[in-house]
Amino acid sequence: MDQTELARDGGTPVRSTPLPSVMDASGRRFGDEEVKAVERVLRSGMLSATWGTEVPALEQEFAEVLGAGHAVACSSGTAALHLAVAAVDPEPGDEIITTPISDMGTIFPILMQNAVPVFADVDPITGNLDPATVAAAITPRTKAVLAVHLFGKPAPIVELRELCDQHGIVLIEDCAQAYLAPVGDTVVGRIGHIGCFSLQQTKHISAGDGGLVVTEDAALARRMRLFADKGWPRATNERNYLFLALNYRMTELVGAVTRAQLTRLAGVIADRRTAAARATAGIADLAGVTPPPDSGDHVYWQYPLILDPEVAGDLHEWATALTAEGIPANGGYLTSPLYAAPALRDRVTYGDSHFPLQDVEYPDGLCPNAEELISHRLLVLPWNENYTKTDVDDIVTAIRKVHTALSKVAG
C-alpha cells in the first residue's frame, strides 16, 4: 500500500481515531473535585457570589497563583476585558490600540465603552503585536494598549509597558490564551496594569464560561468590581449606583469548579509543553515550516506553525490535507483580520449612527503582516494536555506526509 498518498486523494489516513479534544471529556480534566464542587454549592443552597464563599475564595486563590494584589471574577473573558476597558474609562471617541488577530472578545468591549479600536500590525512569526507599529499608532487620544498573548506565546509585553509608561497610558493584557506564561521572573497579566483571563470551554482551564481580571492597583480593582455589579457599592450597605455598569457576576457554581480547575493548571501547562516539544523536535528540519518559537515561555493554547507558501505550499491545501489525515488543522485561525468583520468595517454598532466609528475606516492592507498570516502562512493545530506520545507522533507523521506531498522543494 502506498503510505505517501494523501488521505485527501484517497490514501490511508495517518490516524483513524480522534485526538483528545477540548470539545469532550477526552481533552478536559474534570474529575471528582469538580463534581464535589458543584455538589457542595448546590447543597449549600447559595448559588450567588454576592452572599457566597466560593467566588471570593477563588479570587484570593487566583491572585495568589498569579502573585497579584487583586483578582476580580466575572462571567466571561469578554466580560473581563470589558471590566478592564471600563476601568480605563475612556471619553467617547478615545482610542485603544490593539491587534487584528485575536478573539472578537478583545475588540468589542472597546466599542461597548464608545472608544475606537486602532489596529497595529503584528510580528510575522508570533502574530503578537509589534511594539514599533504600536508606537506609530499612538495619538493624543490614545488611552490604552490592549495586547494579546496569542496562542500562549507572550507578546513583547515589557517593551509595551515601557512604551505605555512613556505616554502615560494604560496597558491591558489579554491572557485568555496564555495562563502562567512566564515573562522574566513573573507571568503574563502582571506586567500591564490589568490582566484578563477566560474560563470558556476551550481555554487551559474551564468552567464552561467565566472570567478573571488581576491588577496591583486597588482603585482599578474597585472600579472593575463595581462595573461587574451595576456600580453598586455593596460594602457600604447603601443601595446606590455610582456609574453606568452591568451585571457580569460569576456564579458560585462556576467559582467552585474553577477553584478545582486552578489546582490542575500547572499540570495542564507542563503536559502541553512536553507534547509541543516532542512535536517541534519531529518537524524542525522541514523546509518552509517554522514551529512556534519557544524560549521556555510558550504555554500552547494552540500549536501554530508558520508556512512559507513559496516553499511549503498552499496554506489552505495544508489545512484540508492534514484534516483528512485525521489531524484537525485550521488555515489562518480567522477568516479575516478582526477589522474586516462587518461590525467594524461596515460600522454596525448603535442603530444607524455607526458611532463611534462614523469617521473611521479599516481598509484592506491596514496591517499587512496580519493579513499575510491569515491568508497564507498561519496553520493552527488544536493542542491538548491529554495528547500521548503516540498522538504527537501521529501529528508529526501527518505533517511530514503532507510536507512531502505539497512542498515545492525536491526531496
Does residue 200 touch ligand PLP according to CB under 6 A?
A: yes
Region near ligand PLP per CB under 6 A, out of 70-78, 253-261, 282-290, 363-371: 70-78
Judge whether 408 counts as a catalytic residue. Answer: no
Return the closest-CA partner of residue 58 out of 260, 269, 266.
Answer: 260
**Does position 102 bind ligand PLP by CB under 6 A?**
yes
Verify binding: residue 174, ligand PLP, rule CB under 6 A: yes
CB-nearer residue toward ligand PLP: 74 or 402? 74
**Binding status of residue 261 toward ligand PLP by CB under 6 A:** no
- Rounded distance, CA 85 to CA 224, Å? 9
Contact flag: residue 251 with ligand PLP (CB under 6 A)? no
Which of 95, 103, 297, 371 is the binder for ligand PLP (CB under 6 A)?
A: 103
Q: Is 106 in the site for ligand PLP (CB under 6 A)?
A: yes
- Least separation in angstroms between residue 182's CB and ligand PLP is 18
Is 111 a binding residue for ligand PLP by CB under 6 A? The answer is no
Whether the Cβ atoms of residue 269 and residue 256 lie closer than 8 Å to each other:
no
Site size toward ligand PLP (CB under 6 A) is: 15
Q: How far is the CB of 190 from ligand PLP (least distance, A)?
A: 17
Q: How many helices (H) and strands (E) does the chain have?
A: 14, 13
Residue 177 interacting with ligand PLP (CB under 6 A):
yes
Q: Which of 153, 203, 230, 408 is catalytic?
A: 203
- Contacts within 8 Å (CB) and 24+ apart, 157-165: 157/183, 157/188, 157/191, 157/192, 158/183, 158/184, 158/191, 159/131, 160/129, 160/131, 160/134, 160/191, 160/192, 161/191, 161/192, 163/131, 163/134, 163/135, 163/138, 164/192
Q: What is the β-pairing status of strands 170-174 and 378-382?
A: unpaired
Q: Which of 264, 267, 253 is nearest to 207 (CA)?
A: 253
Let me know: does 163 contact 135? Beta carbons within 8 Å.
yes
Q: 147 with 128: CB under 8 angstroms?
A: yes
Q: Which residue number, 107 or 307, has a Cβ lying nearer to ligand PLP?
A: 107
Return the residue matching grid coordinates 511549503. 312
Of 98-106, 321-329, 341-349, 396-404, which segment contacts ligand PLP by CB under 6 A? 98-106
* Among 156, 189, 211, 291, interactor with ligand PLP by CB under 6 A: 211
Active site residues: 203
* Residues at the site binding ligand PLP, with contacts judged by CB under 6 A: 76-78, 102-103, 105-106, 148, 174, 176-177, 198, 200, 209, 211
